[in-house]
Amino acid sequence: MILVHIDHDLGTRAPGGVTGVDPLSLQALAAARTLDDAVTAVVAADGDLPPAAAAELRAHGASGIRVAMHPGLADYAPQATARILATLVEEVCPRAVLAAGSARGNEVMAHLAAILDLPLATDCTQITIGPGQSEVTRARWGGNLLEEARVHASILLATTLPHAFPVTPAPAAGEVHTWTPQVPDADLLVRVVERVMPTGAVGVGLSEAKVIVSGGRGVGSAEGFAPLAELAELLGGTVGCSRVVTSAGWRPHSEQVGQTGTKVAPDLYIACGISGATQHLAGCKSAKVVVAINTDRDAPIMQVADYVIVDDLHAVLPAVIEALRQ
């Protein structure tokens, strides 16, 4: 059996068929299916799992669903979630515990590794489980290096590199079992207690976006992002940015694409005024098509883009927007 930690935002997302299950967790489910036919999805929440969320987990290969219900789990609580996973590990003795290699998934698994006193392999692109020893391939240095490693442990703890395992339908029975865990107060000291959305925040998030219009230092200012936002709206996408932009305070960190931001895999990534530092390329390398607009034809991002436009973005974007409106 493989346990898979399912990250979620149940109850905090917009209505309209969105289940709240983190898409990256579905990728972890896909990875687990390559290792074992028995895959149990583990959800920590403060109430029953919505039917739509349960149906999505079943559709992606969960042969069992365990839901830990506790009032303190209304939102993200990493140490408490890890404690619940540790309890299940002792109960069912799985071959492995997997989670998405997101900031939240890695944090929960780090707590779990500390509780169980076991090693943790993060950002895995390949996994092979053996008796007492597993072999993994991990992405290091922003994906510029692939490391092959042996993990000596009776139970493998690992996270999956975002977008390394494609999500494919794999219907399974997925019977839901709920229980109320014992969660020490100390495990709930660090948790999300309130969310305050930026004024006017609408649209799809970076991780789900099919189109991302991203800006870097070359945009010039916070006001300079207006045409990027207009283009993103026309294309049904969202706005992203580089780290230097968030450091300057032009855009919020939630929009940062990169190794220390969000790793994305849109159908189309339009990079405007972004030079293409290694950390940024690590975040957008899974995009299907990259279009780069930059005055510097030798910028690193121009070497990896599918299409390049050597020109001033402030001249190019208005022309593109006008053409789209026509």
CA end-to-end span of the chain: 56
pLDDT of residue 15: 40
Quick: pLDDT tens for 241-285: 999 999 999 999 889 999 888 889 899 999 999 999 988 998 898
Quick: pLDDT tens for 147-201: 999 999 999 999 999 889 999 889 998 899 999 999 999 999 999 988 776 655 5
pLDDT of residue 261: 87
Q: Which residues contact 14 (CB under 8 A, 6 or more apart)?
A: none
Domain with CATH 3.40.50.1220 in the chain: 206-325
Strands 96-100 and 64-69: unpaired
Distance (Å, rounded) from C-alpha 105 to C-alpha 232? 29
Mean pLDDT across the stretch 39-64?
A: 93
pLDDT range class, residue 16, cuts 50, 70, 90: very low
CATH number of 2-188: 3.40.50.620
Q: In whole numbers, what is the pLDDT of the chain averaged over residues? A: 91
pLDDT of residue 217: 95
Radius of gyration of the chain, Cα coordinates, nearest whole angstrom = 21
**Per-residue b/e over 45-84, b at no fewer than 16 CB within 10 Å?**
beeebbeebbebbbebbbbbbbbbbbebbbbbbbbbbbbb
pLDDT of residue 18: 52
310 pLDDT exceeds 90? Answer: yes
Domain with CATH 3.40.50.620 in the chain: 2-188
Q: Which residues contact 213 (CB under 8 A, 6 or more apart)?
A: 228, 229, 231, 232, 235, 237, 238, 239, 240, 270, 272
Query: What predicted TM-score, i.e. pTM, was given to this entire model?
Result: 0.79
CATH number of 206-325: 3.40.50.1220
Distance (Å, rounded) from C-alpha 233 to C-alpha 203? 9
Contact predicate 56/19, CB 8 Å: yes
Mean pLDDT across the stretch 202-228?
A: 90
Two structure tokens written together for 314? 């402030």
